[in-house]
Structure 1
Amino acid sequence: MLEPLTIVVVEPDPERARFIVDALTDNADYRVHIIAERAALARQIAKVNPDVVLIDVADPSRDIIEELTLATGPLDRPVALFVERSAEGLSTAAIEAGLSAYVVDGLTRTRVKPVLDAAIARFRLMARMRTELAETKRALEERKVIDRAKGLLMRARGLPEDEAYALLRRTAMDQGRRVADVAEALITAARLLE
């Protein structure tokens, strides 16, 4: 059985905090922690280390969104922001800052759970995309290194490209290393010999 999610609710108003907790616990089992003070918010959130952060703000500004974003670690966990009203461009700024959900005038009992679910799904999607992007960048960099090492072998030994790659691959297999690591070592050695 899965552990219940730990959720931090950032809400200074005790009645609204209770409303959010009740909306969350109506249909699901969550461990909910309420943080009433925004002072030292990052430290308070780190102490709880929640799976999700829900924040209720009546009238946000870019500064408040930036402060909350820095404090809540939106790249580490889903963060949903409920606001009463929103100025032009704030929703875009919130999403660009990494928040998983920005909900205007949407703090109703029936919407809290679906917004939470959507924030979690969006966060997971974005995390997968960040991972895939990092892996793709790493693969491209490795490809560049391998191509450069092949070029060095082609010039130094007069080999065609496919034989230069085969030599890199054979050397990697003999040494129990990755082709990219052997290619990097060859490039480093060539720099030393220049």
Structure 2
Amino acid sequence: MKHALRIVVIIPDMALGDDQEEHVQQQLERSRSLRMGLLQAQYDVVATLPADVFLSERIAQLRPDLIIVDAESEARDALEHVVVATRDERRPIVLFTNDQDTSHVPDAVAAGVCAYIVEGLAPQRIRPILQVAMARFRHEESLRAELKDARDELKDRKTIDRAKGILMQRQALSEKDAYDKLRKLAMDKGIKMVQIAQRMIDAAELLG
């Protein structure tokens, strides 16, 4: 049986003035409803955290599978903290909000938000929303990994081509013979061909 999804809920700072007590109570009720919906959907809410300067450290310690940002007009500030907190280790982010101003949706998506839900706290909606968010995150991470692999491969090819050029120039070898020599050296030493190529480049630069 798969483990329950470990979730951290990020809520805005509730330290507001007395004249905003009604707003605070509404936000607290929203947050309570969200947490209840998550528990009813059998998710594991490991913590409810404020969006503050300590968020990075707390998320690193808790290592949640998914982060939910529960915010209204404070969504932009909360997202900035979450983006900083997940910069080194990306995690899916879902934003629940009652804020009807969606002008900053593109910025939120660019920051890594997998789902931007306006007035979507109905318990029966939570599970499909999070399932879609997780699927989208995994798909994007797969594409990101493929892009990284392609960039690394291109970089390796350029390094090998540069090392071949050094051999061709200094030992009067053909391109094929230079390639074969690099490959044989890599096989003899039991390392990747690009590593041999980089060592050759470094030696050539050192010796001039």
Q: How far apart, in 2, do the equivalents of 1:88 and 1:15 lie?
A: 22
1:104 Cα deviation from its structure 2 partner: 2.0
Q: How far apart, in 2, do the equivalents of 1:88 and 1:9 lie?
A: 21
Q: How far apart, in 2, do the equivalents of 1:63 and 1:17 lie?
A: 17
Are the structure 2 counterparts of residues 104 and 157 from structure 1 closer, same or farther at C-alpha, using a change threshold of 3 Å? same
TM-score with structure 2 setting the length:
0.81
1:189 Cα deviation from its structure 2 partner: 1.4
Answer yes or no: is the 8 Å Cα contact 1:74–1:98 preserved in 2: no
| Long gaps (5+) in structure 1 | none
Q: Is 2:158 the counterpart of 1:172?
A: no
Secondary structure, aligned partner of 2:191: coil
Answer yes or no: is the 8 Å Cα contact 2:75–2:97 preserved in 1: no
**Amino acid aligned to 2:51:** R
1:96 Cα deviation from its structure 2 partner: 0.6
Q: How far apart, in 1, do the equivalents of 2:100 and 2:58 lie?
A: 26
Q: Pairwise mapping of residues 57-96 of structure 1 onto structure 2 (< 5 A)?
A: 57-60=71-74, 62-71=76-85, 75-87=89-101, 89-96=103-110
Structure 2 counterpart of 1:45: 59
TM-score with structure 1 setting the length:
0.86
Structure 2 counterpart of 1:6: 6
Structure 2 counterpart of 1:54: 68
Which residue, out of 85, 98, 105, partners 2:112? 98
Identical columns (%)? 37
1:91-119 residue CA offsets vs partner (Å, 9 max, x unmatched): 10001111221112322222211111111
1:52-90 residue CA offsets vs partner (Å, 9 max, x unmatched): 111211224543432343245595211100111243531
Secondary structure, aligned partner of 1:54: strand
Answer yes or no: is the 8 Å Cα contact 2:69–2:78 preserved in 1: no
Which residue, out of 23, 27, 44, partners 1:31? 44
| Long gaps (5+) in structure 2 | 15-26
